[in-house]
Amino acid sequence: MDPQTASYYRAILFTDSQDTRPLPPSLVLLHAWAVKRCQALGISSTIAKASALAVAMQWMGSTKEGRAFAAEHTTIGHLFCADDDEQECESVAGSIDWVKLPLETKVSVVIDGKPTVGEYVGRRSSWIDVKIGDERKSFKRSEVKLAGA
């Protein structure tokens, strides 16, 4: 994959085209297939930005790895998790059942490198809302733990 196309995928997945994390292997495989189909159709030998977005969305919606990634890293991950694989998506994002967790349960988050205790005040797709002092903040599910756990 050429570096420019890789930067498209990194911008889509990690919201930073300069991110250095490796792209998921199943996404790279789907990308290679899309490139060959574009060549066979005479469209182009490279993937454009819009095509990269379509490939990434297809990957998130059609593969277990993509659905788990979407659940962990995006605010729309719940849209990609069907009822039958919701538990798998949840297990990637943590073992806490945020739907059943009582409000005001003490949770721990790391802010500026320091563990901070707050209260669980709700869940929005893959984001957890925590009340710290008088302020309500949103964190990724992977960033929130039960206090004392």
Which residues touch 140 (CB under 8 Å, ≥6 apart)? 72, 73, 126, 127, 128
Find out whether 127 and 78 touch, Cβ atoms under 8 Å.
no
**Residue 92: per-residue pLDDT:** 46
Q: Is the pLDDT of residue 4 over 70?
A: yes
Average pLDDT over residues 3-8: 91
Single pTM value for the model:
0.56
Q: Which amino acid is at 139?
A: F
pLDDT single digits (tens) 87-139: 555 544 456 777 777 888 888 888 877 888 999 888 876 678 899 888 888 88
pLDDT recorded at residue 149: 57
Express each pLDDT in 35-53 by its tens digit: 998 889 888 778 889 889 9
Token look-up 């659940």 returns: 71
pLDDT of residue 10: 92
Please identify which residue in the block is written with the tokens 């911008």.
11
Query: What is the per-residue pLDDT across 72-87, written as a single tens digit (0 to 9) for each?
Result: 888 777 777 655 444 5
Of the candidates 74, 143, 145, 136, the one whose C-alpha atom is nearest the C-alpha of residue 105 is 145
- Looking at residue 128, its pLDDT comes to 85
* 91 or 142, which is more confident: 142
